[in-house]
Amino acid sequence: MAPSSTTTVQEDHVALAEIELCGELMIAASDADGDRLSPDRIDEVLMVTQERSAGADRQ
């Protein structure tokens, strides 16, 4: 039997999270003074630093 072509609930949550992050980046970009967001600002918007810190604390 072929696998179902419908998306699972778990995949929907991932897609929604990605859409939300893209939206946050677009909002930040529209508020930026220059043409581009700096890598530090992108990390701040995506909360990358917090994720890295949390991962380092666990180790």
**Model confidence band, residue 8 (pLDDT cutoffs 50, 70, 90):** low
Q: What is the mean pLDDT of the chain?
A: 81
Q: Does 9 reside within a domain? A: no
Q: Is 7 exposed, middle or buried (0-12, 13-18, 19+ CB in 10 A)?
A: exposed
Q: Does 22 reside within a domain? A: no
Angle at 26 between CA 44 and CA 7, to 5 degrees: 95
Q: Does 48 reside within a domain? A: yes
Q: Does 12 reside within a domain? A: no
29 vs 1: CA distance, rounded Å: 46
* pLDDT tens sequence across 40-57: 999 999 988 766 666 666
Give the Cβ contact number of residue 35 at 10 Å.
6
Domain extent, residue 37, equals: 33-59
Total domain count, the chain: 1
Q: Does 21 reside within a domain? A: no
Phi-psi region of 17 (alpha: psi -120 to 50; beta: other; left: phi over 0): alpha
Q: Does 47 reside within a domain? A: yes
